[in-house]
Structure 1
Amino acid sequence: MAEKLRMVLAATPAYREMVFAPESTARLEALGDVVVLDDPGDAGALTAALPGTDVLITSWGATPLTAAVLDHADRLRLIAHSASSVKHFVTEEVFRRGLRITQAGQAMAEPVAEVSLAFTLSLLHRIQRFDHAMRDGAWRDAVPPQHGLTASRIGVVGASRTGVEYIRMLVALRAAEVVVYDPYLTDERAVELGVRRTSLDELLRTSRVVALHAPTLPETHHLIGARELALMPDGASLVNTARSWLVDTAALLDEVRSGRIDAALDVFDEEPLPPDDPFRALPNVLLTPHQAAATVECYLDMGKITVNEIERHATGRPLQYELTEAALHQMA
């Protein structure tokens, strides 16, 4: 039988209720003692709770794990992040001390891919344009031609975990062709996914819809700028459920203002999006408030994944979603 663990769960009451269902909480308690901290950003409270702790469970707003904090982690072996990105709190000290990290971001891949697919279908059928026109009193307002998915080439920038889920959905719905730009995607993996690898420029020139699923890295900042947007054919569309970091927002605004291309956006440089932001008034732009992953099931799956990983750790099995220092530099 596995040795009983001492675990610290640093998450607000609202977050715990949303992510850790009674079943997940019971599974945690079966593994050992759970100490709960209501403020995940309180470094003092975390420092005081760390001595004797085997597993730290983090959440949104986690305090940075600096040397001063980790000096008190005399037994800590695993950091289980119950959300996605760990970049805001994981420091080099974590890896220097040989601590293992896992995260629950896989839970977000499917719902974000679903929203990306919903955006894609809406843009192909000009639903956002018709919605705006009808609210303004029009009936069949003139719009660019509508197209079906089975007659459209879709370009995917980034075969990330979300990108892969999106690709699978496109292939299942019989998109005419799916092309992918990703420097890390191998030919073998492309064949397995049923896609064709291509350059970014060719993807932009030939795709009816371009969907962004690349990570936030120095080399992906404004990956899609004025030059790249100009390559997109008239009537094409851009989907961004990843990060606004990937797109030059000013250049995109110029393009969609012209009416030449359409866009669907879930992420923005400034959030919440200001009430007077010009994107709000454009009939060819579909907007959602950074909620692509916010399904009830996604949040509960984050809790399940977290508990699964801690159980694997407790029983000496390999972690399913462990992050290495190298992998961390290739993710959002």
Structure 2
Amino acid sequence: MTGSAERPRVVVSVPPGLRDAFFTVETWRRLDAAADLTVLDAHTDRAALAAALPEARALITSWGTPRIEAELLTRAPDLELVAHTGSAVAPYVSEEVFRRGVRVTQAGDEMARPVAEVALTFTLALLHRTHRFDHALRTGASWESAGEAPPRHEIHGSAIGVIGASRTGRAYITLAQALGAQVSVTDPYLSPSDADRLGVQLLPLDELLSSSRIVAVHAPATAETRHLLDAGRLALLPDGAGLVNTARSWLVDESALAAELRTGRIDAAVDVFDAEPLPVGHPFRALPNVLLTPHTAAGTVECRHRLGASAVTEIVRLLDGLPPLTAVGPEALARLH
């Protein structure tokens, strides 16, 4: 589909599979009624994007869309909005986008609930050692030996540490507290008064690590958080503790975590990895004390529908002359991925 002079043009840089996941029939009709659409099936093709941008007032981006930098902006003199269907915008827009006054929106709020639910699922699995029992039975262990595991615990009354009071972190805190967990948080930007309102104890990182039965990582990937959990800090976790990472592998030294896990001293549940797809020979795959999922925490049907609806809402608001609901500024570029 291509645009016309009578109606605003919107470029949709979302591949067919994701379009089906993101846009319900109703949501797509809403977008199609608001604008003439140029839809890019080859959404990673920079030349195709450059050819589509002239006269476009808005662009919907998805994972893999080429980054909008000065060169592409010269092809888009009418561009007013980049609506990203994910959370981190740094891979898709440059400082020049903001300098030119183009609005940038993202749909990160819509991902918080499903990722928090997966983090809670991981938490319960680690507390009850479900992953160890499953691994033992699947690999041929006897019934008696399959039932052997470190002590198990209920979440009610357990000390749960949260690294990062992000959107997802706060959603996870709410879920964990509803089941009776005693939650502590480390976050340099969380004030004592905000911690009180959340009903959490604010702790330094090292103290949180050494005092928690489960530690859930929910911090952003920035220059400052690279390998925040290194070998020294992983060693602070108590024997039998568990680490949950549904955020970014950036935050954890993966080699150090593998070494710690090989000892059997701690358990982990991980959704994000340095190399994706996770190599078949990666040590995590063979360890009985690790629960793995292939970067799917936000992949619910409902979440993906909300991601598409969020982008379309921002497009419609732009064309109706209304301010965006989920705008971010150039400070969002500090979140690397």
Give me the TM-score of the superposition, normalised by structure 2: 0.93
Cα distance, 1:151 vs structure 2:
2.1
What's the offset of the Cα at 1:4? 5.0
How far, CA to CA, are the matches of 2:178 and 2:63 in structure 1? 34
Q: Which residue of 1 aligns with 2:15?
A: 12
Distance apart, 1:292 and its partner CA: 1.0
Partner of 2:112 in structure 1?
A: 109
For the 8 Å contact 2:91–2:336, the answer to whether it is kept is no
Name the counterpart of 1:47.
50
AA aligned opposite 1:95: F
Number of the residue aligned with 2:3: none
Aligned to 2:319: 314
C-alpha deviation, 1:97, in angstroms? 0.8
Q: Is 1:174 paired with 2:180?
A: yes
Q: Does 1:220 align with 2:225?
A: yes
Alignment pair present for 1:80 and 2:86: no
2:264 maps to a residue whose letter is: G
- Is the counterpart of residue 139 in structure 1 residue 143 in structure 2? yes
Deviations 1:154-180 (A, max 9, x none): 0000111111111111112221x1011
Task: Using the TM superposition, give the Cα deviation of residue 134 of structure 1 relative to its aligned residue in structure 2, in angstroms.
Answer: 2.2
Task: Identify the residue that residue 291 of structure 2 maps to in structure 1.
Answer: 286
The runs of 5 or more residues in structure 1 that have no matched partner are: none
Instruction: Select 2:200's aligned residue among 195, 198, 201.
Output: 195
Question: Of 59, 64, 69, which aligns to 1:66?
Answer: 69
CA shift for structure 1 position 331 = 6.5
Are positions 1:151 and 2:154 aligned together?
no
Q: Please say if residues 90 and 332 of structure 2, whose CA atoms lie closer than 8 Å, have aligned partners that are also in contact.
A: no
- Percent identical residues: 55
Number of residue-to-residue matches in the alignment:
329
Structure 1 residue 314 displacement after superposition: 2.5
1:330 to partner: Cα distance: 4.4
What is aligned with 1:128?
131
**Following TM superposition, by how much is the alpha carbon of 1:55 offset from its aligned partner in structure 2, in angstroms?**
0.8
Alpha-carbon distance between aligned partners in 2 of 1:265 and 1:324, rounded to the nearest angstrom: 30
Shift of the alpha carbon at 1:309? 1.6
Give the secondary structure class of the aligned counterpart of 1:151. coil
Q: 2: CA distance between counterparts of 1:8 and 1:330?
A: 25
Give the match for residue 267 of structure 1. 272
CA offset at residue 203 of structure 1?
Answer: 0.4
DSSP 3-state at the match of 2:105 = strand
**Corresponding residue SS for 2:65:** coil
